[in-house]
């Protein structure tokens, strides 16, 4: 009985640690105002990988809508019975098991987690850095970077995405959001850097 109670308490504590999505996901300044640690994480990924914060958050918005433990919906067997998920994608960045394993081998730490926001941004920065290196994509080119993220480097190089309506459609959404976030960030970055909100020097 005591063991079951301890297990239940542990699950409740873990559940309470999962943060809800930001209140205003359409405004990057409000996001960083609400989540100062996210700004620090974005700056860290920017310094390490050259990942613009507006591109980073546009990717996260598209992939998970800022839900830490997001997964693809299960397929339905016979249209009714919940079945397998289409991929192993998980977390803020929707990194698959294979991609996450590659990231851990090359750049991640022992305690990196897909449901940790800072680790997710570092993963996106690492992946986009590889896209830049392999495919010569500009690190501010949210449209093409997202297509490479969606179809993989091989798929991008083969031009597979040109026949994929969803890939181009999603990339347009990410690109538009990155541009919007970028404009918003210009209006508040000086305040962020000056520590007006968070005491960040």
For residue range 130-164, what is the model confidence (pLDDT) as tens digits? Answer: 999 999 999 999 999 999 999 999 999 999 889 88
Distance CA 23, CA 123 (A): 24
Residue 155 lies inside a defined structural domain of this protein: yes
Residue 87 lies inside a defined structural domain of this protein: no
Helices (H), 18-113: 28-34, 36-49, 53-64, 97-106
Domain housing 154: 21-68+117-194
| Dihedral sign (CA 123, 124, 127, 129) | negative
Residue 84 is predicted with a pLDDT of 52
Rg of the Cα trace of the chain? Answer: 18
Residue 61 lies inside a defined structural domain of this protein: yes
Residue 8 lies inside a defined structural domain of this protein: no
Number of domains in the chain: 1
pTM (predicted TM-score): 0.83
Residue 83 is predicted with a pLDDT of 37
Residue 175 lies inside a defined structural domain of this protein: yes
Residue 6 lies inside a defined structural domain of this protein: no
Whether residue 4 has pLDDT greater than 90: no
Residue 53 lies inside a defined structural domain of this protein: yes
Residue 73 lies inside a defined structural domain of this protein: no
Residue 163 is predicted with a pLDDT of 83
């Amino acid at each position: 009985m005591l063991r079951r109670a301890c297990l239940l308490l542990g699950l409740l504590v873990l559940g309470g640690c999962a943060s809800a999505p930001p209140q205003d996901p359409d405004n990057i300044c409000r996001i960083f105002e609400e989540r100062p640690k996210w700004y620090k994480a974005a700056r860290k990924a920017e310094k390490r990988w050259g990942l613009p914060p507006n591109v980073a958050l546009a990717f996260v918005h598209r992939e998970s809508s800022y839900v830490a433990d997001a997964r693809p919906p299960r397929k339905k067997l016979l249209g009714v019975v919940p079945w397998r998920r289409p991929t192993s994608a998980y977390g803020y960045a929707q990194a698959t098991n294979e991609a996450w394993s590659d990231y851990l081998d090359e750049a991640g730490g022992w305690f990196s987690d897909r449901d940790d926001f800072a680790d997710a941004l570092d993963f996106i920065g690492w992946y986009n850095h590889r896209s830049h290196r392999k495919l010569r994509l500009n690190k501010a080119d949210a449209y093409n970077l997202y297509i490479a993220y969606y179809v993989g480097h091989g798929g991008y190089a083969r031009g597979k995405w040109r026949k994929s309506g969803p890939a181009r459609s999603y990339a347009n959404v990410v690109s538009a959001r990155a541009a919007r976030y970028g404009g918003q960030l210009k209006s508040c970055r000086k305040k962020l850097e000056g520590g007006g909100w968070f005491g960040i020097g």
